[in-house]
Each structure stands twice: as structure tokens, then as C-alpha cells.
Chains A and B, each alone.
Chain A
């Protein structure tokens, strides 16, 4: 586990929203696997931390949950994005990009001066 980066709390929410956007309704385990796979196994999600994050998003109204049946016929709770969730995703994506750009410039500038 040590060689894999732990997921930041803040970015986990963004990853969940993005995953739900691209995958549609999905259960908790599925979201966790998907995040790991997308990151190319560079990230390790502690599955336990996923559920409080899902709960927070649900409390804030960005996602909805519903019991359903999985592909292999198991009962599971499925999460899906709401309309406000979609908007929030756009906003957060934009914010994240901006932060990234600023950081990139900042780091680039430092490299030039040093």
C-alpha cells in the first residue's frame, strides 16, 4: 500500500462524481474499483472512507441512492448523479483545472528562477 498514493479527502468527492457521471448508477464497491482502475492502480482507495464521502454527497444533494440488484444478482445500494450533482461536477472540474494551471505556472516559474 505504501507505494500507492492515498486519496485526498477533497478529491475523492470529485472522483466519485466523475465516476458516476461516466458510469451512470453504480454501487459503492463498483465506484471504489472504478477509481482504482481509472487511476491505473496508482491510487489506493481505503474502501471504508468511501462510504462517509458518499453520505456527505448525498446529504448535500449531489447524488441519490436506491437499492437495486447488481450484474451478478446481488442486492446493493446504487448511487446516481442528480442535476445539481452534475452542475457541481462541472464547477469542481473547472475549479480543479484552475488550481492546476496556477500551480503549474507557479512551479514552472520557480524552476526558471532557480
Chain B
């Protein structure tokens, strides 16, 4: 206790100095007088008396110093002094401070922001118990991106789970479902097997999970609701459990609430989880119609490779459903859940990570370089302070305090940068960047980055203060600084190399983006407004009603003013699904089907006659559809150029016959009436599938649940929307309609590459800026070192141009060396980028050259400013500078 009290009083003493200082002087003075008086009484002379008293006291100042040390807390005081001095030193050279803090802020901020994003994709654990044992498995086929399974085959496997401890499945594609009560809302419902929660190791937040009873046919209908829905709709009330709600007009009882962090393994947004009722008919082994996504929890210590081996017998057996000629294109796929989720984002995430690591490295070298330069510039100051009695420890502490202060300020600025960047990422990012919305600033990362930068800065920044100050430093004539010259130059060269790699990468992504945005899409997207209509299944259960709806919509919308052309189609280019069939499933008279392979996919669309005019897709030969073609007896078809060339190689396709299998039924023979230009139909960067068109008929045999209204109009989407909406509302006010311009739809396809390119460009710009700052710092330093030499040279007749050249040449070899190393690095590094590039070679010499030129230009600018300053040196001043 007493010690604590003493410590507190001392802490107080640290800050109350002036009063006690006067008191101490008075006390010691009175002590001396008392002593002197005694001595005088003892018969000494006044001088002797005072001298003896002082000796006994041990010296006035020494006594005061001992007292002061006791009074306050000396280490706090010196630290405070160090801090004040550091602030003063930074204020003295605001340029240095600003550059250092800016560098730190960029390095720390960018790294933290990007890591916070990437972490979610690459490293953060998934919200399932022991997620490393979870896999997605099934059959991989050319027409579907993810592995899938047929329901009867799944049932076989479930009886013999092999490598799995447990397995579950869900119906692909969360479906729209409507909460049909007061305040109806559209939700998305996912249908899962009853083993879903137990396999993923999930526990409901409230209520119960599904039991196997829930999956029996005829069982009462139950559902789990998402945390979000629970909060929004039921205000998190416990009473929600057991409540019966009406979904698509049918009563369903809520039995539980999903955990807050719950996400579907296929990452689809889900409000309602329904148990799948396994219908015996769906398990008919001879007519497999139901497709599932299967997930399994591997038994402990079973690897994915072992699981693949274990599933082989089952896979071989299931192949009997696949027509023999397609078997070579079907394979068994087992992959970790994480891989399934991140397959698309992985490469981009790693590249982003690499880019940002490079920026952090650049920032580190820059700060190091700046501190090195600064420390050498302060040798004289250090020498003077050493001569005045400062200990080496004290000097080192002083340097450390400065480095810490810089790191602290840089860290704060870095935090601001990170926060801003993350906000910007979220705003600018296209839909579908994995888990970006959840990304939050990671303080561990912020700390880590600050620590890395700081460590490197201290390591090199402190080094000079560890040297024993040499007496000649006092003269300000130092040679020691040049000893570490190679280190500074190497750092600059490394920076140039690093930023060149970033720059080359950014150049390639930008070039690729340019290619993507200028890829011919085969139609004219300008002045086209799209209205997407989807009919809810519960209000339009049979095709006749759907047909009637679209018929009425078509006739109403064709009268909309300001519209040049109006068309309907079931799907739209340039991306998204089309109806599709195998190439091998298209028959042409007189030619047998191929024995092997699917021949790839062929898309087809159902369109009204004005479709080609509305999108300005050219009819190359023959004719487009007419209203007469919509009569039930007419069976015309229009092929795309590519399909025509494949189906009828070397022949005239017009007038030929073809038929295809759709909806499991052999279609009628159709006559080719026209050839249309190719249109992008599976994204901008893919080659695209061949396709054909059939007329939109009022034929109940073809199911039309949704459609697109295509309006070519000079009016904007915003002014057209209310018109269209009110016309459709007259037919059915409950049908939701979504509007977009065709240009937006096309532009969205490029948003992902745009985002990638933008990010990497940002990092490249940061890198180049850092390299420029580094170079600027080093050249400035070498100029100030050589002021005297420059003065002598000028006195001997060197022109300012000579001097500039001298300064520039001294750095040129390092810059060129760094650039050469960077070119080599970019050459190898770009290979990693290749999968993100579209029609750009990773080794495009023109792009590399551009990057080198940009960098050299920045380097020359950075070196030019100090070089010019050198040329302006007044020789007289320079010579007198000693």
C-alpha cells in the first residue's frame, strides 16, 4: 500500500515541478546556512565554513539531482522528453514526416483493407462444426458447373454411406416463395433433406431442427426460419416457434430458428428451410427426374482422395443412367466445401493478396530507407549530444521514440485509409464477390501490418544510432553515411522492381478489361429496356393461364407510346441460362447421331417475330419469323451461323430439316427458314454456345413461367417503367416486374474484371508512388551529402546541366537494374494472372514495355527535382558550408 502511495505521489511530482523546485532550493540553502553557522561557531573562517558544508552535502547540484530523481518518476520524465523532442524533430522536417506517415498509412491501410476481404474468402472458417470434414460430391457433367446427383442414385448411396459419417442433400436453386398473409412478402425457400442440420453440425438457435418424421410423406408441413426473418417478421419473439404461417397459400408450422451466422452451403440467400418430403415416385430408378446437390461429412481421418476411391463402385453403377456415348464426359467429383464455395474467387483473392503483400513490402522498404537517410543526416546531432554526455542507450531510446511516434501516427492514418478503402470496396464491388458484405476491419491485421512496418523501420532506423559516434562527425564531415549507400540503393532498386511487377499486372488486367468491354456481343444493346416478369407458381399453376397472361401482356404493351419495337423472349443474351440441349441430341435427316460424346451444348430460345429487330440481330440469310409462323401447324426454326455451319457443314442450311429433344420429348421436324448472326450467350469472355430460335407460340406444350419484355425505345428505363408497370398491373397487379436497360445487363458482366483491374491498378499506382517517394528521398539525400562536392565542381566550371546529369547518372544504374529485375519478375509473375486475362498474353511485350516506360518516367521525375535543386546550389554557400 505504502509503496503504491509513494508511487502515486511521485507520479504527481512528475508534473508539479516548479513549486517543489523552489522549495528544494530553499531547504538546501537553509541547510547550508545552519551548517555554516555551526562551522563558524566551531571557529572556521567564513570561506572554510561554507566549503566544508558544501563538501558534506556532496555538492549542491548533485544533491538536487538525487532529490529530483526521488521526487518524480525519471523514466516517465525522460520518455516525455523523448516524445517532445521527437515531435519537435518531426515538425522540423515536415516533408520527411509527411512522406513517412503517408507511406505507412498507404501500406498499413491497403494491406489491412484487402486482407479483411481476402480473409473471408481464403482463411476464415466456415460457420459449420469441423468444416474441414465437409465435402460436396456428385457427378460432374459438361452442362452443369457444379457436381450434382440424381435422387435414386443418392438414395442408393445413402443406404451404403461408404466414406461418409453422414450425408445430406438439398434441392438446387432456392425457389421464390410467397408469405401469403397480411403484408405478403416474397421470400426464398430452400428444400433440404432432414439430415441437413446434423450433417453440417448446426444447432437451431431456438426450437428444434428437422426430425426424420418431417420427411415422411403426409407428415405435417414444418419449416425453419432464418435469423433475419425471425427478427424482421417476428421481432425475435420466442412465440414465433410453433406458429403457423401461410407459404404459397399453404399452412406451414415454424419449428425452429436458424443460427445467426447460418449460410447455405451453396451460399444462396435463404429465409425459409423446408424439409424435403421424399416421394417414392421421385425415387423411381428407371426414370430419374429429380436432381440433388449432395454434401457429406467424411468420417474422421478419411481424406478426399480416399473418399473418391470409396465412391468409385457407386459411381460406376450410376453410369448406367448416362447414355453410353456421353460417359466419357461425365466424372465423379468430390471437393471440400470451401473449394466449392470459393472456386471462382480463389485466384483473384490470391492475386489481390500478393499485390497487397508487395505494397506492404514496398512501404516497409520505403520507411526503412527514409529512416536510414534521416539517421545518417543526423549523425552530427547525435555526435554533439553524445559529446554533451548523452549515453548511447539514451540516444537509441530517442531514435526509438521517434520511430514509435511515426508508427503511431502512421497507424492512425492507416486505420483511416483501411476504413475508407473497405467502404469503397463494398460500394464498388459487383454482386457476387464472396462474403464482401460481411467483411469488417480486422484489427489483428491492422496490428500485424503496423508491427511489420515498424520492425523493419526500427531495425534499420536504429542501426546508425548503435554506431559509436565518431569525433569527426562533430565536424559534419562524414564518410560513414556512404558505407550504407549500397543498402539504400538496393532498397530503391527492389522497390522499382516490385512496383514494376504490380504495374505490369495492372496493365494486363486493364488491357483485358478493354478487350472484354469491346468484345462484339452480336446485338445492339443501346436504347433497349428490359422488363423481366416471373409468374409465381401458386397463382399460375397451369400453362394455359400463363399463356393467357403473356398474350394479354403482349397485346397491351405493343401499344405503348415511344416504343419502336416490342418483343418477348423466354431468355436473353449475353449471359444467363438459355433452354439447352446437347448437340448430339439434334437430329438431321439422313445422318446418324454421333456414337461418342455430347458434342457440347446448344442453346435455344423462344422468341416473338420482332425479337431480331428489337435487339438488331442480323438475319444473315433467309428470313426472320413472321406472325404466320406462330400458327400451331408451322414449325420453323432459325439457326445461328455457328450452328448452321456445324449441322450442315459445307451445305446450304436454308430449307433443311432438323429436330431436337426438349422436355424429354422428341420434338417435331422443323424447317430452317433463316440464319441469324452469332450472339454472345454465356458471358462475354466465353466462346459461347451455338443456338437456334423457335417462335413463341401460344402452345401449352411449352412451359413458360417467365419471360422478358424487350422494348427498343428512345425513352429511358425510368420513364418507360411506370407505363409498362401499369399496363402489366392491368393484367395482374400481383406480378412483380423488374426493369433494367440492356446496357446495364451487359455492363454488369464486365463488372468483375473491372473490379479486379481497378484494385490492381490502385495497388500499382500506390507501388509506383512509393517507389517514386523512395527514389526522391534517396536522391535528395545524396544531393545534400554532396553539396560541398557540387560547390567545388561548379567553382571549377561545371554547368548546372553537368551537375544535374551527375546526380541523375548516380541513380540511373540502380533504377535500370531494378527495372530489369522487375521485368524478369513480371514475366514469371504474370503467369499467375493468366486465368483472369481475356485475349491478353501474360507475356505481352508491349504491355511490359509500357509498364517499364511509366515507371522510368516516374523515376526520372522523382530524381529530377532534387537534381535540379543540386544544379541551383550557390558554389560560395556550398564551399562555406563547413
Chain A interface (Cβ < 8 Å from any Cβ of B): 27-30, 33, 46-49, 51-52, 55-56, 59-62, 70, 72, 74-77, 88
Q: How far is the CA of A113 from the CA of B674 in the complex (A)?
A: 124
Contacts of A51 in B (CB 8 A): 24, 27-28, 63, 66-67
Q: Mark B22-47, 1 if CB is under 8 A from A, else 0.
A: 01101110110111011000000000
Residue of B23, B33, B57 touching A48 (CB-CB under 8 A): B57
Look across to chain A and name the residue whose beta carbon is closest to the beta carbon of B71.
Answer: A55
Contacts of A46 in B (CB 8 A): 56-58
Can you pick out 11 interface pairs between chain A and chain B where the beta carbons lie within 8 Å of each other? A27-B31, A29-B30, A29-B31, A48-B66, A49-B58, A51-B63, A55-B67, A61-B2, A72-B37, A76-B30, A88-B2
Contacts of A33 in B (CB 8 A): 38
Residue of B27, B35, B70 touching A56 (CB-CB under 8 A): B70
Determine whether B93 belongs to the interface, using a CB cutoff of 8 Å to chain A: no
Residue of A56, A62, A77 touching B30 (CB-CB under 8 A): A77
Q: How far is the CA of A59 from the CA of B6 in the complex (A)?
A: 5
Are A60's CB and B35's CB within 8 A?
no
Q: How far is the CA of A64 from the CA of B24 in the complex (A)?
A: 15
Residue of A27, A55, A62 touching B34 (CB-CB under 8 A): A27
Tell me, rounded to whole Å, the shortest Cβ–Cβ distance linking A95 to chain B. 14
Q: How far is the CA of A103 from the CA of B470 in the complex (A)?
A: 52
Q: Mark B733-774, 1 if CB is under 8 A from A, else 0.
A: 000000000000000000000000000000000000000000
Look across to chain A and name the residue whose beta carbon is closest to the beta carbon of B10.
Answer: A59
Look across to chain A and name the residue whose beta carbon is closest to the beta carbon of B31.
Answer: A29
Contacts of B37 in A (CB 8 A): 72, 74
Q: How far is the CA of A25 from the CA of B763 in the complex (A)?
A: 74
Q: How far is the CA of A75 from the CA of B35 in the complex (A)?
A: 13
Determine whether B62 belongs to the interface, using a CB cutoff of 8 Å to chain A: yes
Contacts of B35 in A (CB 8 A): 29, 47
Given A52-B70, A61-B2: A47 and B31 interface contact (C-beta under 8 Å): yes
Q: How far is the CA of A33 from the CA of B69 in the complex (A)?
A: 24
- Name the residue in A28, A29, A88 with the highest tally of chain B Cβ atoms < 10 Å from its Cβ: A29
Contacts of A47 in B (CB 8 A): 31, 35, 56-58, 63
Q: How far is the CA of A34 from the CA of B34 in the complex (A)?
A: 14
Tell me, rounded to whole Å, the shortest Cβ–Cβ distance linking A18 to chain B. 18
Determine whether B5 belongs to the interface, using a CB cutoff of 8 Å to chain A: yes
Are B70's CB and A76's CB within 8 A?
no
Given A48-B66, A59-B10: A74 and B27 interface contact (C-beta under 8 Å): no
What would 13 more interface pairs be, CB under 8 Å, given A47-B57, A52-B66, A72-B37?
A27-B31, A48-B58, A49-B58, A51-B63, A52-B70, A56-B6, A56-B70, A59-B10, A60-B5, A74-B33, A76-B27, A76-B30, A76-B34
Residue of A52, A59, A77 touching B27 (CB-CB under 8 A): A77
Contacts of B24 in A (CB 8 A): 51
Are A52's CB and B69's CB within 8 A?
yes
Contacts of B447 in A (CB 8 A): none
Tell me, rounded to whole Å, the shortest Cβ–Cβ distance linking B408 to chain A. 32
Q: Mark B187-223, 1 if CB is under 8 A from A, else 0.
A: 0000000000000000000000000000000000000
Are A28's CB and B70's CB within 8 A?
no
Contacts of B6 in A (CB 8 A): 56, 59-60
Contacts of B124 in A (CB 8 A): none
Count residues of B near A (Cβ-Cβ below 8 Å): 30
Are B66's CB and A49's CB within 8 A?
yes
Determine whether B59 belongs to the interface, using a CB cutoff of 8 Å to chain A: yes
Q: How far is the CA of A52 from the CA of B63 in the complex (A)?
A: 8
Given A47-B63, A48-B58, A49-B58: A59 and B9 interface contact (C-beta under 8 Å): yes
Q: How far is the CA of A51 from the CA of B28 in the complex (A)?
A: 9
Look across to chain A and name the residue whose beta carbon is closest to the beta carbon of B59.
Answer: A48
Determine whether B3 belongs to the interface, using a CB cutoff of 8 Å to chain A: yes
Q: Mark B42-56, 1 if CB is under 8 A from A, else 0.
A: 000000000000001
Contacts of A60 in B (CB 8 A): 2-3, 5-6
Look across to chain B and name the residue whose beta carbon is closest to the beta carbon of A71.
Answer: B34
- Name the residue in B5, B9, B23, B27 with the highest tally of chain A Cβ atoms < 10 Å from its Cβ: B27
- Name the residue in A49, A59, A61 with the highest tally of chain B Cβ atoms < 10 Å from its Cβ: A59
Q: Mark B360-375, 1 if CB is under 8 A from A, else 0.
A: 0000000000000000
Contacts of B28 in A (CB 8 A): 51
Tell me, rounded to whole Å, the shortest Cβ–Cβ distance linking A52 to chain B. 4
Q: How far is the CA of A101 from the CA of B9 in the complex (A)?
A: 35
Contacts of A88 in B (CB 8 A): 2
Given A49-B66, A59-B9, A61-B2: A74 and B58 interface contact (C-beta under 8 Å): no
Are A52's CB and B67's CB within 8 A?
yes
Q: How far is the CA of A72 from the CA of B9 in the complex (A)?
A: 33
Q: How far is the CA of A33 from the CA of B35 in the complex (A)?
A: 9
Q: How far is the CA of A27 from the CA of B32 in the complex (A)?
A: 12
Tell me, rounded to whole Å, the shortest Cβ–Cβ distance linking A50 to chain B. 9
Tell me, rounded to whole Å, the shortest Cβ–Cβ distance linking B105 to chain A. 44
Are A70's CB and B34's CB within 8 A?
yes
Are B10's CB and A74's CB within 8 A?
no
Tell me, rounded to whole Å, the shortest Cβ–Cβ distance linking A61 to chain B. 6
Contacts of B13 in A (CB 8 A): 59
Q: How far is the CA of A37 from the CA of B59 in the complex (A)?
A: 22
Look across to chain B and name the residue whose beta carbon is closest to the beta carbon of A61.
Answer: B5
Tell me, rounded to whole Å, the shortest Cβ–Cβ distance linking A39 to chain B. 15
Q: How far is the CA of A46 from the CA of B59 in the complex (A)?
A: 10
Tell me, rounded to whole Å, the shortest Cβ–Cβ distance linking A43 to chain B. 13
Residue of B34, B66, B69 touching A74 (CB-CB under 8 A): B34
Q: How far is the CA of A55 from the CA of B63 in the complex (A)?
A: 12
Are B62's CB and A48's CB within 8 A?
yes
Q: How far is the CA of A46 from the CA of B63 in the complex (A)?
A: 10
Given A48-B66, A51-B66: A59 and B5 interface contact (C-beta under 8 Å): yes
Contacts of A27 in B (CB 8 A): 30-31, 34
Are A28's CB and B9's CB within 8 A?
no
Tell me, rounded to whole Å, the shortest Cβ–Cβ distance linking A23 to chain B. 15
Q: How far is the CA of A22 from the CA of B58 in the complex (A)?
A: 27
Q: How far is the CA of A47 from the CA of B35 in the complex (A)?
A: 10
Look across to chain A and name the residue whose beta carbon is closest to the beta carbon of B28.
Answer: A51
Tell me, rounded to whole Å, the shortest Cβ–Cβ distance linking B524 to chain A. 88
Residues of B375-430 contacting chain A, CB below 8 A: none
Residue of A29, A48, A59, A76 touching B63 (CB-CB under 8 A): A48
Tell me, rounded to whole Å, the shortest Cβ–Cβ distance linking B575 to chain A. 79
- Name the residue in A28, A30, A47, A61 with the highest tally of chain B Cβ atoms < 10 Å from its Cβ: A47
Q: How far is the CA of A52 from the CA of B57 in the complex (A)?
A: 12
Contacts of A77 in B (CB 8 A): 23, 26-27, 30
Q: How far is the CA of A77 from the CA of B67 in the complex (A)?
A: 15
Look across to chain A and name the residue whose beta carbon is closest to the beta carbon of B68.
Answer: A52
Look across to chain B and name the residue whose beta carbon is closest to the beta carbon of A44.
Answer: B56
A-B pairs, top 7 by smallest CB distance, nearest first, are A48-B58, A48-B63, A52-B70, A29-B34, A59-B6, A59-B9, A76-B30
Contacts of B31 in A (CB 8 A): 27-29, 47, 76
Contacts of A62 in B (CB 8 A): 2
Look across to chain B and name the residue whose beta carbon is closest to the beta carbon of A88.
Answer: B2
Q: How far is the CA of A68 from the CA of B30 in the complex (A)?
A: 11
- Name the residue in B10, B37, B56, B69 with the highest tally of chain A Cβ atoms < 10 Å from its Cβ: B56
Look across to chain B and name the residue whose beta carbon is closest to the beta carbon of A84.
Answer: B2
Q: How far is the CA of A56 from the CA of B69 in the complex (A)?
A: 11
Contacts of A59 in B (CB 8 A): 5-6, 9-10, 13
Look across to chain B and name the residue whose beta carbon is closest to the beta carbon of A65.
Answer: B27
Tell me, rounded to whole Å, the shortest Cβ–Cβ distance linking A74 to chain B. 6
Q: How far is the CA of A46 from the CA of B54 in the complex (A)?
A: 10
Q: How far is the CA of A4 from the CA of B52 in the complex (A)?
A: 17
Q: How far is the CA of A48 from the CA of B61 in the complex (A)?
A: 10
Are B30's CB and A74's CB within 8 A?
yes
Contacts of B66 in A (CB 8 A): 48-49, 51-52
Tell me, rounded to whole Å, the shortest Cβ–Cβ distance linking B72 to chain A. 11
Q: How far is the CA of A48 from the CA of B27 in the complex (A)?
A: 12
Q: How far is the CA of A52 from the CA of B59 in the complex (A)?
A: 14
Q: How far is the CA of A60 from the CA of B4 in the complex (A)?
A: 8
Tell me, rounded to whole Å, the shortest Cβ–Cβ distance linking A59 to chain B. 4
Tell me, rounded to whole Å, the shortest Cβ–Cβ distance linking A90 to chain B. 15
Contacts of B71 in A (CB 8 A): 55
